[in-house]
Structure 1
Amino acid sequence: MKPADLKLMSVDELWALHLEINSALERKIAAEKAELEKRLRKLRSNGASSRTFERKRRPYPQVFPKYRNPAKPAETWAGRGKQPRWLTAQLKSGKKKLEDFLIHASSSRVRRSGARS
């Protein structure tokens, strides 16, 4: 049907066409929904469930902090992700550089990395 044909139709004819299209859409949607539900039942009967498709995250190693807030030593940052507010504020002041907040390697880490005798 061409758009010019629609312009020639009366309101009653257009409304009848609208109702016919709605009923055709309802039939097709119902048939498609029934087919999808049938496929879902078949998948579930084969043992597939929502638990089958769950993925567990792999374990990540612990990330140790690299930077410490000198004003509040409990506040640390590992250097990953967004910079914490305390660090951003102090860097913006221009008085310190990022390297000034580095946590120095402890003696236990030095021993772990060194060779044993």
Structure 2
Amino acid sequence: MSKKFNLDAMSIDEMWQLHEEISAVLSIRLTSEKRELEKRLAQLRREKEMRQSESADSQPRDAPRERRKYPRVFPKYRNPNEPTETWSGRGKQPRWLTAALKTGHTIDEFVIGTVESKKNSSSRRQRA
């Protein structure tokens, strides 16, 4: 096995024969190594599936939960230049509002008519 070859003294035919022998041995070893790795991978997959099935049996927390229903939030601010652009006052300020505030406007200038005034007028009608 520890045979040393003097490659300078070998003919091309001898070198080619050595190449073919080395290729055959490498092919056999690679094939057996591949089989061993595939067996190990299959074993790891089985173990993983067993762990997942055990955890699914003991804890049903992996199931997706139903989302909480949030009430609809009506817009509180409107862009006077583009009335379709509105903002509810939650989350990040829209670009149009940020730009307007930087130019010196106040946020109160963009408030949509209050709903309370409509409620008061309807309650007055009910009393009369």
Q: Which of the five TM-score ranges fits, normalised by the shorter chain? A: 0.5 to 0.7
Q: What residue in structure 1 maps to residue 107 of structure 2? A: 98
| Mapping 1:24-63, distance limit 5 Å | 31-41=43-53, 53-63=63-73
Q: Give me the whole-angstrom Cα distance separating, in 1, the residues matched to 2:121 and 2:91.
A: 29
Q: Give me the whole-angstrom Cα distance separating, in 1, the residues matched to 2:79 and 2:50.
A: 60
1:72 and 2:79 aligned: no
The one-letter amino acid paired with 1:97 is T
Q: Give me the whole-angstrom Cα distance separating, in 2, the residues matched to 1:70 and 1:42.
A: 59
Q: TM-score, normalised by structure 2?
A: 0.50
The one-letter amino acid paired with 1:38 is M
Q: RMSD of aligned C-alpha atoms?
A: 3.9
> Which is greater in Rg?
2
Larger proportion of helix = 2
Shift of 1:65: 0.4
Which ranges in structure 2 are unaligned for 5 or more consecutive residues? 1-36
Q: Give me the whole-angstrom Cα distance separating, in 1, the residues matched to 2:122 and 2:41.
A: 66
Q: TM-score, normalised by structure 1?
A: 0.54
Which ranges in structure 1 are unaligned for 5 or more consecutive residues? 1-25
Q: What residue in structure 2 maps to residue 85 of structure 1? A: 95
The one-letter amino acid paired with 2:52 is L
The one-letter amino acid paired with 1:102 is V
